[in-house]
Amino acid sequence: MAESTQEEILELIWTIEEEENGKVEKELLIKRVNLPSAENALKVLIQEGYVKIINSRAELTKKGREDARLIIRRHRLAERLLNDVLAVNEETMDSSACKFEHFLDEEVTTSICTLLGHPLSCPHGKAIPPGDCCEKTSKEIRPVVMPLTDLRSGDKAKVSYIVTKYHERLDRLSSMGLLPGVQIRLHQRQPTYIIQMGETQIALDNAIARDIYVRLV
């Protein structure tokens, strides 16, 4: 199954289940895909066992969920690559990722994931389904994007994203101006991490520094 409209449908069903915690009406699904071939593509997915219709609602089968997971993984890794490495603006990032995801095979997807340091979430904070590469403890190449804790004293970097389950921690970092796109320099590592941001020096403990992902400049 490689038809892009079919992949868009699987991706949309996954996203609706993830974000809205529910199933989508078949007719609404076709409207939301908003492509002329959507209805025929959905029929093919049903015939081939990727999607089932229960009480007029579309649901992923086990087979469909496995494929949707891979599509979501490719899309969100593409977003990370476009955002973190290529610095594509947010307005065009999603549409570019939609086009990009259809051309990624498993080998290229694994390479991108490794290059980025096996990120946990996309730039919008949605989880990236892990691949086999994420479970390997050894990394053969140094990632382009890394935790701030991996920087050496004197390294200059730009903040790529922040991953934390503590909202108050994110609020604190935001209030200090430590946001994606901001350039920093690591002044010291011990006993706390001291970063230089413009004319300001900020002290960070290890737990907070681990949540901040940066790329070298």
Share of the chain above pLDDT 70, in %: 94
Q: Determine the pLDDT at residue 143.
A: 62
Tell whether the model's pLDDT for residue 35 goes beyond 80: no
- Res. 69 pLDDT band, cuts 50 70 90: very high
Q: Tokens 């400049």 correspond to what residue? A: 217
Q: Tokens 């490794």 correspond to what residue? A: 114
- Rounded to the nearest angstrom, the gap between the alpha carbon of residue 186 and the centroid of all alpha carbons in its chain is 26
pLDDT tens per residue across span 74-117: 999 999 888 877 777 777 887 888 888 878 888 999 988 888 88
Whether the pTM exceeds 0.85: the reply is: no
- For domain 74-135, give the fold: Arc Repressor Mutant, subunit A (1.10.10)
Contacts of 148-152 spanning 24+ positions with Cβ under 8 A: 148/184, 148/186, 148/193, 148/195, 148/204, 148/209, 148/210, 148/212, 148/213, 148/214, 149/193, 149/206, 149/209, 149/210, 151/186, 151/214, 151/216, 152/186, 152/189
What is each CA distance from 111 to 82, 93, 131, 161, in whole angstroms? Answer: 15, 20, 11, 20
How much is the average pLDDT of 188-205? 91
pLDDT tens per residue across span 112-153: 888 888 888 888 888 999 998 887 644 545 567 788 998 989
- Helix (H, G, I), strand (E, B), or coil: what is residue 112? helix
Tell whether the model's pLDDT for residue 8 goes beyond 80: yes
Just give the CATH number of 145-216: 2.30.30.90
Least confident of 119-128, 129-138, 182-191, 197-206: 129-138
| Contact (CB, 8 A) for 114 and 143 | yes
Radius of gyration in angstroms for the set of CA atoms belonging to the chain, rounded to a whole number: 20
**Average pLDDT value over all residues in the chain:** 86
Q: Determine the pLDDT at residue 75.
A: 93
Q: Where are the domains of the chain?
A: 4-60, 74-135, 145-216
- Res. 49 pLDDT band, cuts 50 70 90: very high
Q: Which amino acid would we find at residue 99?
A: K
